[in-house]
A and B are shown apart, each in its own frame.
Chain A
Amino acid sequence: MTDMTFTEATIAAMQEEMRRDPLVFAIGEDMALQGGVFGQFKGLPEEFGVHRVLDTPISETAIVGAAVGAALCGARPVVDMHFADFITTAMDEVVSQAAKARYMFGGQCCVPMVLRMPDGAINSAAGHHSASVEAWLLHTPGVKLVVPSTPADAKGLLKSAIRDDDPVLYFEHKSLFKMRGEVPDGEHIVPLGVAAVRRSGTDVTILSYSQMVYRCLDAAAQLAEAGISAEVVDLRSLRPLDWDTIATSVRKTHRVVVAHEAVRTGGVGAELAAQIGEELFDELDGPVIRVAAHDVPMPFSPPLEKFVLPGAAQVVAAVRRLL
């Protein structure tokens, strides 16, 4: 085990995969001199050179579109979106091209690309730099969605994403970049579609992912003091989804809270509540309750931001509603 930050874990994943496969390359803005806006590509330009770490003009459409073209022709691009919010400027390239190419062309090709998307709210970044946009893409068959919450997963899931032959959207919460954690030494792979039970419990299942997992663990600790045993499941990827782990937990606890930082309406929570309602209705002792951000863009002023974001208190309140 080595203690490292989430950022360092992603760099290690990139290094290992770029050394392993000469067709893996990184592309994005502010790569060459800074190693990415959050330093998550640091050292790569020096080791791999400008043909493997491509420093682009501010042209999100071109970056993502070119990555799709490169993937169609056998390369394995890892794209940095700068901020997940900016995916709107290349939405067509993701939704119409990357996600559909393999299907529309009858399986003639595949699109092995990764989009790294720093998402979530930190430091009053406000309306254009704080969003969690996974639900837009969950609604898009043809892409896979990964939402790591620990340095170990950041590494293991990024390696899996790079090796996957499909387009993978890798959401890295900006507040996690500096987080430290133990990462297994040697080849460490976390397969897509396997959830992790971060805390086991018997009274309620809390489904979450990314940074929100920590607020749920806080909530579970508070609940434990009140004698309530909460199980916290970190989904780790939203597509493929680890339905087995979800169902096993629900059959044990019979109560479900889904918690995410993204806004509520049409979100991942809505989808999970619907699936659980359809398939596990008889197991439930109450409705599936969602904890999510209020349905507004992220405001600037700290008290406003704090109000909009869901925290441990909202998770505790949701569990109390069920019990």
Chain B
Amino acid sequence: MQRIRRFEERAEELYLGGELPGFIHLSIGQEACAAGACAALGTDDYITSTHRGHGHCVAKGAPLDRMMAELYAKVTGSCKGKGGSMHIADFSVGMLGANGVVGGGANLAVGATIAARLRGSDQIALCFFGDGASNRGPVHEAMNLAAVWNLPVIFFCENNQWASTTSVKSVMKIEDVADRAAGYGMPGVVVDGNDVLAVYTAVSAWVERVRNGGGPVLIEAKTYRMRGHFVGDPQVYRDAAEVQAQRANDPIQRLEWRLLAEGRLDEAGLARLKDEVEAELAAAVQFGRESPLPEPEAALEDLYATPLPGGVRP
């Protein structure tokens, strides 16, 4: 969680300082979802992600330096500078990509498990999506298909209360996204998405069942988006007081307090942990900063696995 938080805080600073191009969507406040859910998965398992995908990528184990280089649009980035923040991916750790299309990852997760089944592998897929995405058709088609075929998919809704400028309350007649699971004959559960242990426990409890042919599940994690929809969002649509009130519910603070109170970590240990993250991040930023930009002609590469005769026409 600390790695995600600091990665994104640094990305925000660098972006505001004019170092990073494009758009950046931060998941600050939602780290417990990514960390808790991915910790319950194996390295081989797949995740699909949203446009807010840094946390998912970090939590699945992607190296920070290649991620940061991608944000810097450098050739050393995990997508060689062709994806950027909104399309960040690291296939080496089963992270099948952030997605610029809201709800775009749901069916990819279903397909990942079809491939796994054909290969005789017991890999599962976890699909991150938002409360906003839960209103889109592709997500419903994915849930239905996974349910009728008993596919090992965990649909993990990060309900952060806002979809861009729209409050979840104004676009959903029901309180919980999890209720929608009933329509597909699969279980739907709600978990405190700011409590990493609760998320980890909830996801872990379903991983084995899902892996062993029990069919998919919809887990809704109630959380809150602390920052604007994107970096630079003036947030005219919500009260500063609402955001302020959520500070007491910070998932990282909550875990720190708990670990300290239970005596599992002391102040020195915590400081050491933070220093480690800081050092890793400093190296990542340096790597991103100092890496070369791609050669312009690289824009014509990577389109096809079997290139066209005559190449990509200008």
CB of A299 closer than 8 Å to a CB of B = no
Judging by beta carbons under 8 Å apart, are B148 and A105 in contact? Answer: no
CB neighbours (8 Å) of A106 from chain B are 77-83, 302
Residue of B nearest to A56 (CB): B145
CB of B301 closer than 8 Å to a CB of A = yes
CB of A239 closer than 8 Å to a CB of B = yes
Alpha-carbon gap, A113 to B110, bound state (A): 15
CB neighbours (8 Å) of A107 from chain B are 80, 301-302
CB neighbours (8 Å) of A52 from chain B are 118
Residue of A nearest to B138 (CB): A61
Name the 5 nearest CB pairs between A and B, nearest first: A69-B111, A65-B107, A106-B80, A165-B305, A69-B108
CB of B283 closer than 8 Å to a CB of A = no
Judging by beta carbons under 8 Å apart, are B118 and A75 in contact? Answer: yes
CB of B114 closer than 8 Å to a CB of A = yes
Per the 8 Å Cβ criterion, residues 46-87 of A in contact with B are: 51-52, 54, 56-57, 59, 61-62, 64-75, 77
Judging by beta carbons under 8 Å apart, are A108 and B115 in contact? Answer: no
Taking A75-B111, A103-B302, A165-B304 as given, write out 17 further A-B residue pairs in contact, using a Cβ cutoff of 8 Å, ordered by the A residue number.
Answer: A54-B149, A59-B144, A59-B145, A62-B107, A62-B144, A66-B114, A66-B142, A70-B114, A72-B111, A75-B114, A96-B101, A103-B82, A104-B89, A105-B83, A106-B82, A109-B91, A240-B310
Most buried by A among B78, B114, B138: B114
Alpha-carbon gap, A112 to B262, bound state (A): 51
Alpha-carbon gap, A182 to B109, bound state (A): 42
Judging by beta carbons under 8 Å apart, are B302 and A101 in contact? Answer: no
Alpha-carbon gap, A92 to B101, bound state (A): 8
Judging by beta carbons under 8 Å apart, are A240 and B308 in contact? Answer: yes
CB of A306 closer than 8 Å to a CB of B = no
Judging by beta carbons under 8 Å apart, are A66 and B145 in contact? Answer: yes
Alpha-carbon gap, A65 to B108, bound state (A): 6
Judging by beta carbons under 8 Å apart, are B138 and A74 in contact? Answer: no
Judging by beta carbons under 8 Å apart, are A193 and B309 in contact? Answer: yes
Judging by beta carbons under 8 Å apart, are A166 and B79 in contact? Answer: no
Contact of B303 among A23, A73, A142 (CB under 8 A): A142
Per the 8 Å Cβ criterion, residues 270-314 of B in contact with A are: 301-306, 308-310, 312
Residue of B nearest to A113 (CB): B111
CB neighbours (8 Å) of B117 from chain A are 51
CB neighbours (8 Å) of B144 from chain A are 57, 59, 62
Residues of A within 8 A of B (CB): 22-23, 25, 27, 51-52, 54, 56-57, 59, 61-62, 64-75, 77, 92-93, 96-97, 101-112, 141-142, 144, 164-166, 193, 239-240, 243
Least CB distance, A244 to chain B, in whole angstroms = 9
**B86-128 toward A: CB 8 Å interface, digit per residue (1/0)?**
0101111000110111001011111110111111000001000
Judging by beta carbons under 8 Å apart, are A164 and B108 in contact? Answer: no
Judging by beta carbons under 8 Å apart, are B114 and A105 in contact? Answer: no
Alpha-carbon gap, A108 to B306, bound state (A): 14
CB of B233 closer than 8 Å to a CB of A = no
How many residues on B have C-beta within 8 angstroms of the other chain's C-beta atoms? 52
CB neighbours (8 Å) of A92 from chain B are 101, 104, 138
CB of B137 closer than 8 Å to a CB of A = yes
Judging by beta carbons under 8 Å apart, are A59 and B97 in contact? Answer: no
CB neighbours (8 Å) of B112 from chain A are 69-70, 72-73
Most buried by A among B90, B96, B106, B141: B141
Judging by beta carbons under 8 Å apart, are A54 and B304 in contact? Answer: no
CB neighbours (8 Å) of A144 from chain B are 304, 308
Least CB distance, A192 to chain B, in whole angstroms = 8
Contact of B137 among A22, A61, A97 (CB under 8 A): A61
Alpha-carbon gap, A111 to B91, bound state (A): 13
CB neighbours (8 Å) of B107 from chain A are 61-62, 64-66, 68-69, 93
CB of B46 closer than 8 Å to a CB of A = yes
16 example contacts (A-B, Cβ-Cβ < 8 A) are as follows A59-B145, A64-B107, A72-B111, A74-B119, A102-B302, A102-B304, A104-B83, A108-B78, A109-B89, A109-B96, A112-B305, A142-B304, A164-B305, A165-B306, A166-B305, A193-B309
CB neighbours (8 Å) of B302 from chain A are 102-103, 106-107
Contact of B115 among A69, A93, A101 (CB under 8 A): A69
**B35-78 toward A: CB 8 Å interface, digit per residue (1/0)?**
00000000000101000000000000000000000000000011
Judging by beta carbons under 8 Å apart, are B111 and A141 in contact? Answer: no
On whether A51 and B118 interact (CB within 8 A), knowing A69-B108, A72-B111, A105-B91, the answer reads: yes
Alpha-carbon gap, A298 to B119, bound state (A): 43
Alpha-carbon gap, A71 to B77, bound state (A): 23
Alpha-carbon gap, A306 to B305, bound state (A): 41
On whether A104 and B87 interact (CB within 8 A), knowing A22-B118, A66-B114, the answer reads: yes
Judging by beta carbons under 8 Å apart, are B96 and A240 in contact? Answer: no
CB neighbours (8 Å) of A25 from chain B are 114, 118
On whether A74 and B80 interact (CB within 8 A), knowing A59-B141, A142-B303, the answer reads: no
Alpha-carbon gap, A25 to B141, bound state (A): 20
